[in-house]
Amino acid sequence: MLLTVKELADQLHIKPSTLYAWAGQGRIPFLKLHGLVRFEREEIEHWVESFRRP
pLDDT digits (tens, 9 = 90+) for 1-54: 999 999 999 999 999 999 999 999 999 999 999 999 999 999 999 999 999 998
Among 7, 8, 11, residue whose Cα is nearest residue 28: 8
Q: How far apart are CA 23 and CA 28, in angstroms?
A: 5
Report the predicted TM-score, pTM, of the whole model to 2 decimal places: 0.90
Q: Please give the backbone phi and psi of residue 31, each rounded to the nearest 5 degrees, phi first.
A: -120, 150
Q: What is the pLDDT of residue 54?
A: 82
Among 30, 5, 3, residue whose Cα is nearest residue 18: 5
Q: What is the pLDDT of residue 4?
A: 98
Q: Please give the backbone phi and psi of residue 14, each rounded to the nearest 5 degrees, phi first.
A: -130, 170
50 three-state secondary structure: coil
